[in-house]
């Protein structure tokens, strides 16, 4: 086999081993059909790494990730580790991987699959097919923060007490590289790019707008528009099908992608890709967490993890035919009526051709439908 990839698999905690296991099974099956070799090695991160090594992100896991072609991650965290101090909690593994691997571009596609029928909570969602390009390693989540005791008072004489602050800061270079990614994805899709910001209030947002306007000269085929984030959240509910690519800052992207996820069904359906500069390894993971409430019960929807493999093959490894095969197999499996509990719409049953399936059954059906 001439095409061979070095894939690091990090199952993590909760449902992570179940959904990541499903993703690995699909990757192995599709690779046999399309003639490439995914050399998969498993590493620990999150709560299970705290149990084994005392730290959420062991050095050997980050090293392996940096030397890989791509990382497939399940999910981390759970109530067992909730009492641990903030800097040693399982979720630090995700931040450590993003920072350590310099993954500044987070891609979250949100597509409403017609095979799922009326799974959207919206009355008339239309044909939702959008991509959120979120900046991932800058902005307010990484800016200067702290708290101090203030001696000042409010206008009515009340003492201010403790003051806490977070700082949003973005450099020209950080903004330019992520907006460029937005333009490039828009070129490959429907050539519409929406920059979401709060330029009526925030100085950083005004710099984002200025840079985006300058870049339009390099991408004359892309129609660029601007939306304030508050307006965008309304428009995502009222006219979601009119969006193509949204590019935005770390915090706005975090919030909007959950909204975009909900209007297309379940978090159990949504994959994500985190990328750095071309040629560097990428990280592929579902947007959901470790779902401790259903962990170990064979109930989790594996589709978000399986579609993360699809994104990895399509966007990162250049295995487009294998990626298309996975997407078609997922669609066919859903069209045939297979549903994990999270996407089984109340009232639909066998009379409508719907069958409730386990994580393993859903995975096996998808594997059987690979062409
Ligand atoms: P969650 O995404 O784990 O769960 C939210 C809800 O969605 C739960 O009801 C869960 O059962 C359901 N759900 C999630 N994934 C599902 C799937 N594949 N199939 C069916 N249902 C699914 O979010 P949470 O409950 O806020 O967090 C649980 C833990 O996960 C916490 O420790 C949190 O810190 C962690 N977390 C990790 C990540 C990550 O690893 N990237 C992301 C978010 C949360």
Ligand 1, residue 75: give the atom nearest the CA: 40
267 CA distance to ligand 1 middle (Å): 8
3-state secondary structure of 288: coil
339 in any annotated domain: yes
Which token pair is 44? 């620990």
Question: From the CB of 288, is ligand 1 less than 6 Å away?
Answer: yes
307 in any annotated domain: yes
DSSP letters spanning 304-322: HHHHHHHHIIIIIS--HHH
Q: Look up the CATH number of the domain holding residue 55.
A: 3.40.718.10
Residues contacting residue 2 through CB under 8 Å, at least 6 positions apart? none
Domain count, the chain: 1
On the 0-12 / 13-18 / 19+ scale of CB atoms within 10 A, 146 is exposed
On the 0-12 / 13-18 / 19+ scale of CB atoms within 10 A, 66 is middle
145 in any annotated domain: no
Task: Give pLDDT tens digits for 328-369.
Answer: 999 999 999 999 999 887 666 666 788 999 999 999 999 999
Q: Is 342 a catalytic residue?
A: no
pLDDT on residue 230: 97
pLDDT on residue 36: 97
| DSSP assignment letter at 46 | S
- Which of 240, 146, 140 minimizes the C-alpha distance to 197? 140
Give the domain range for residue 83: 1-106+279-371
Task: Give pLDDT tens digits for 178-213.
Answer: 999 999 999 999 999 999 999 999 999 999 999 999
Ligand 1, residue 303: give the atom nearest the CA: 18
Task: Give pLDDT tens digits for 232-276.
Answer: 999 999 999 999 999 999 999 999 988 998 898 888 999 999 999
Q: Are the beta carbons of 183 and 215 closer than 8 angstroms? A: yes
67 in any annotated domain: yes
337: left (phi over 0), alpha (psi -120 to 50) or beta: left
SS (H, E, C) 209-227: HHHHHHHCCCCCCCEEEEE
| Largest pairwise CA distance in the chain | 75
- Which of 238, 286, 241, 284 minimizes the C-alpha distance to 114? 241
Task: Give pLDDT tens digits for 135-187.
Answer: 999 999 889 989 999 999 999 999 999 999 999 999 999 999 999 999 999 99
Cα distances (Å, whole numbers) of residue 155 to 158, 249, 295: 7, 34, 51
5 in any annotated domain: yes
Task: Give pLDDT tens digits for 286-316.
Answer: 999 999 999 999 999 999 999 999 999 999 9
Question: From the CB of 75, is ligand 1 less than 6 Å away?
Answer: yes
Task: Give pLDDT tens digits for 81-104.
Answer: 999 988 889 999 998 999 999 999
Which token pair is 91? 């979720």
Residues contacting residue 144 through CB under 8 Å, at least 6 positions apart? 165, 166, 167, 169
251 in any annotated domain: no
Residues contacting residue 333 through CB under 8 Å, at least 6 positions apart? 362, 365, 366, 369
Q: Is 13 a catalytic residue?
A: no
123 in any annotated domain: no
Active-site position among 141, 244, 332, 348 = 141
What count of other Cβ atoms lies within 10 Å of the Cβ of residue 190? Answer: 15
Q: Is 254 a catalytic residue?
A: yes
Q: Is 198 a catalytic residue?
A: yes
Ligand 1, residue 46: give the atom nearest the CA: 40
44 in any annotated domain: yes
């Amino acid at each position: 086999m001439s095409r061979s990839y070095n894939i690091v698999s990090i199952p993590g905690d909760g449902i992570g081993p179940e959904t990541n296991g499903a993703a690995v099974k699909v990757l192995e099956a599709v690779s046999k059909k399309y003639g490439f070799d995914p050399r998969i090695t498993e590493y620990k991160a999150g709560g299970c790494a705290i149990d084994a090594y005392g730290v959420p992100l062991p050095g050997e896991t980050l090293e392996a990730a940096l030397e890989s072609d791509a990382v497939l991650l399940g999910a981390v965290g759970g109530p067992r580790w909730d009492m641990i101090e903030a800097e040693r909690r399982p979720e630090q593994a995700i931040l450590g991987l993003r920072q350590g691997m310099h993954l500044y571009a987070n891609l979250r596609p949100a597509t409403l699959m017609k095979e799922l029928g009326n799974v959207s909570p919206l009355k008339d969602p239309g044909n939702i097919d959008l991509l959120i390009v979120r900046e991932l390693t800058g902005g307010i989540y990484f800016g200067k923060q702290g708290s101090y005791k203030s001696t000042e008072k409010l206008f009515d004489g009340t003492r201010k007490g403790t003051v806490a602050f977070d700082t949003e800061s973005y450099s020209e270079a950080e903004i330019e590289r992520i907006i460029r990614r937005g333009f490039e994805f828009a070129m490959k899709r429907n050539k519409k790019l929406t920059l979401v910001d709060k330029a009526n209030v925030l100085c950083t947002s005004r710099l984002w707008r200025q840079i985006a306007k300058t870049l339009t000269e390099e991408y004359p085929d892309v129609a660029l528009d601007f939306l304030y984030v508050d307006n965008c959240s309304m428009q995502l509910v009222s006219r979601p099908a009119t969006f193509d690519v949204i590019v935005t800052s770390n915090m706005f992207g975090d919030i909007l992608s959950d909204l975009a996820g909900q209007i297309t069904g379940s978090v159990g359906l949504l994959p994500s890709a985190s990328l750095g500069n071309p040629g560097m390894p990428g990280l592929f993971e579902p947007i959901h967490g470790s779902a401790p409430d259903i962990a170990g019960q064979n109930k989790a929807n594996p589709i978000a993890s399986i579609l993360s493999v699809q994104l990895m093959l399509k966007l990162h490894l250049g295995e487009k035919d294998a990626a298309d095969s996975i997407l078609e197999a997922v669609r066919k499996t859903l069209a045939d009526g297979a549903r994990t509990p999270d996407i089984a719409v109340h009232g639909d049953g066998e009379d409508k051709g719907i069958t409730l399936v386990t994580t393993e059954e859903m995975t096996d059906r998808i594997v059987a439908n690979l062409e």
